[in-house]
Amino acid sequence: MRVIETHLPGVLVIEPRVFSDERGFFLETYHEERYRESARIEPRFVQDNHSRSRRGVLRGLHLQLGHPQGKLVRAATGRVWDVAVDVDSRSPTFCRWFGAELSDENHRQLYIPPGYAHGFVVLSDVADFVYKCTDFYRPEDEIGILWNDPELDVRWPVTAPIVSDRDGKNLLLKDYVARRNA
């Protein structure tokens, strides 16, 4: 596997080895020892999630306050633009983001450590997005940052995404920081 470090500490692009022939392909989507040795991903994963969305659906930017989740994400089918945002006001990379295309063709994964905000938008007709989490989902602990917050200036590759009512009412980064530091 190939591990690519990004400009955000701990955020990694992972390109697993893919074995292809005329029948199709095979790859390991996770192997604890290999990921620990090659990518230095140590946490225990406790929950797997799978979502299906249609073209233009944007989910995020999400995180949990008291029980932050690390995530190992990938597109099992289709294509997504996946984004991690550093929302820790004490971090030297605060307010910076990283984005990468994940697809069923490039087989790339993104590892997002606990504490980062995360979101994605679907670029294909449909996408199945699957991810492993280092902590359990707790609805009462979830918080969101507005996907189009001008302070973040995330370069989403869509102009008019389909956003849930809830995600459309997420906090601005400055309001998240004020709440986090209260």
Tens of pLDDT along the chain (182 residues) come to: 999 999 999 999 999 999 999 999 998 999 899 898 888 888 899 999 999 999 999 999 999 999 999 999 999 999 999 999 999 999 999 999 999 999 999 999 999 999 999 999 999 999 999 999 999 999 999 999 999 999 999 999 999 999 999 999 999 999 999 988 87
Q: Which of 111, 116, 131, 176 is catalytic?
A: 131
* Residues 6+ away with beta carbon under 8 Å from 36: 42
CATH code of residue 102: 2.60.120.10
Cβ atoms of 16 and 109 closer than 8 Å: yes
Domain carrying residue 139: 44-181
User: The tokens 């507005």 sit on which residue?
Assistant: 146
> What is the model's pLDDT at position 42?
81
> What is the model's pLDDT at position 43?
81
Pairwise CA distance, residues 21 & 23, whole Å = 5
Known catalytic residue at 131: yes
> What is the model's pLDDT at position 110?
98
Instruction: Give the number of domains in the chain.
Output: 1
Known catalytic residue at 116: no
Any domain includes 62 = yes
Angle at 97 between CA 95 and CA 102, to 5 degrees: 160
Q: Which of 62, 111, 116, 118 is catalytic?
A: 62
Is the omega angle on the peptide bond into residue 61 within 30 degrees of 0, that is, cis?
Answer: yes
